[in-house]
């Protein structure tokens, strides 16, 4: 099928989703015509593009078995006429539950035909030196699988003439989706004396939730717990306080240490 362009579009506070999407594109052997990183609120506030005769590799992390709300809201505003989608989720070695189904359904509601989908594993946002949860993933084996997934998508495209030939795509998940977890504001980040005021954490935050004027403290009301600021801080000056979230990190590191592998799905014909 003659796809005019491929586009990358992702929400990726700690970069694992971006990394896998880029590798899939490499495997497809095509340079992306556009790359839209919707992690930052300014980008999400722009009017989304209408896609025609193109393929969009779209990616998002799994938050509590669902898509992050900000990402879901943006993706649901896209529109497509005859364009194809490949929705991909990244999860932290626990489970992706309904997130991939939600992504596929969201793309379909916008008018995309989903050709394939994938669930890959990324280092958990809550992972740290103390509590290792899928640390350093995606690793080489994950990237090889992402590359091979891209190659297979390219092969599929060559074998079809028009979106009408693409059959249904089945992915794991249940509808109605699981209830979104309502976490109240949590003050879970401590800024230590190692902070040198470099400001790197400010643009790393997808929620404008860091108060420069208050010694880079986090505003709990806006925070989405993505831990991007913790991972981006060059001084290691942002650390998780003792509390519920650190308790979850400990539990995840103990209960989900067995390695999970990427899964890919392809539409029927």
The binder of 218, among ligand SF4, ligand FMN, none, by C-beta within 5 to 8 A per type, is ligand SF4
Considering CB distances under 5 to 8 angstroms, the limit depending on partner class, which of ligand FMN, ligand SF4, none binds residue 198? Answer: ligand SF4
3-class state of residue 232 by DSSP? helix
Measure the CA–CA gap between 10 and 164, rounded to whole angstroms. Answer: 26
Residue 240 binding ligand SF4, by CB under 6 A? no
* Residues in 148-167 at the binding interface with ligand FMN, rule: CB under 6 A: none
| Interface with ligand SF4, residue 11, by CB under 6 A | no
* Pairing verdict, β 34-37 and 55-61: unpaired
Judged by CB, which is closer to ligand SF4: 37, or 263?
A: 37
Q: Which of 10, 112, 216, 265 binds ligand SF4 (CB under 6 A)?
A: 216
Binding mask 83-112 for ligand FMN (x = CB under 6 A): -------xxxxxx-----------------
Binding flag, residue 245, ligand SF4 (CB under 6 A): no
Indicate the DSSP class of residue 30. -
Q: Which of 105, 106, 125, 264 touches ligand FMN (CB under 6 A)?
A: 125
Which residue has the closest beta carbon to ligand FMN?
122
| Long-range CB contact pairs, 169-172, < 8 A, 24+ | 169/104, 169/114, 169/115, 169/116, 169/117, 169/265, 169/266, 169/267, 169/268, 170/265, 170/268, 171/100, 171/101, 171/104, 171/117, 171/265, 172/96, 172/100, 172/101, 172/119, 172/263
- The label of the residue with tokens 């999860």 reads 91
Q: Does 89 bind ligand SF4 (CB under 6 A)?
A: no
Q: Which residue has the tokens 């497809």?
A: 28
Antiparallel, parallel or unpaired: β 34-37 and 6-10: parallel
Distance CA 141, CA 20 (A): 11
What does the angle CA 13 – CA 8 – CA 178 come to, to the nearest 5 degrees?
A: 55
Smallest separation (angstroms) from ligand SF4 to the CB of 188: 8
Residue 7 or 231 having the CB closest to ligand FMN: 231
Nearer to ligand FMN, 14 or 105 (CB): 14
Measured from the CB atom, is 14 or 36 closer to ligand FMN? 14
Q: Is 253 in the site for ligand FMN (CB under 6 A)?
A: no
Closest approach of Cβ 10 to ligand FMN, in Å?
7
Q: Which one of ligand FMN, ligand SF4, none interacts with residue 235, CB within 5 to 8 A by kind? A: ligand SF4
SS3 176: coil
Contacts of ligand SF4 in 168-207 (CB under 6 A)? 191, 195-201, 204-207
Residues that bind ligand FMN (CB under 6 A): 12-17, 61-65, 90-95, 122-125, 225-226
């Amino acid at each position: 099928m003659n796809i005019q362009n491929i586009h990358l579009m992702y929400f990726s506070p700690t970069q694992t989703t971006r990394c896998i999407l880029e590798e899939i594109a490499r495997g497809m052997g095509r340079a992306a015509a556009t790359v839209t990183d919707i992690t930052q609120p300014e980008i999400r506030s722009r009017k989304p593009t209408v896609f025609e005769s193109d393929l969009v590799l779209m990616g998002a992390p799994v938050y509590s078995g669902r898509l992050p709300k900000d990402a879901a809201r943006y993706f649901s505003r896209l529109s497509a006429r005859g364009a194809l989608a490949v929705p991909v989720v990244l999860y932290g070695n626990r489970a992706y539950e309904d997130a991939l189904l939600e992504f596929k359904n969201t793309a379909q509601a916008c008018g995309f035909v989903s050709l394939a989908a994938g669930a890959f594993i990324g280092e958990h946002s809550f992972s740290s030196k103390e509590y290792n949860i899928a640390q350093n993933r995606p690793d080489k084996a994950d990237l090889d699988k992402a590359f091979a997934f891209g190659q297979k998508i390219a092969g599929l495209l060559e074998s079809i003439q028009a979106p009408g030939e693409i059959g249904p795509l089945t992915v794991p998940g249940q509808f109605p989706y699981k209830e979104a977890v309502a976490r109240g504001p949590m003050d879970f980040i401590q800024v230590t004396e190692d902070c040198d005021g470099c400001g790197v954490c400010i643009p790393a935050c997808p929620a404008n939730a860091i108060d420069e004027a208050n010694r880079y403290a986090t505003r709990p009301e806006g925070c989405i717990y993505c831990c991007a600021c913790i991972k981006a801080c060059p001084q290691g000056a942002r650390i998780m306080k003792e509390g519920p979230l650190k308790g979850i990190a400990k539990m995840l590191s103990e209960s989900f240490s067995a390695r999970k592998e990427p899964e890919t799905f392809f539409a029927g014909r």
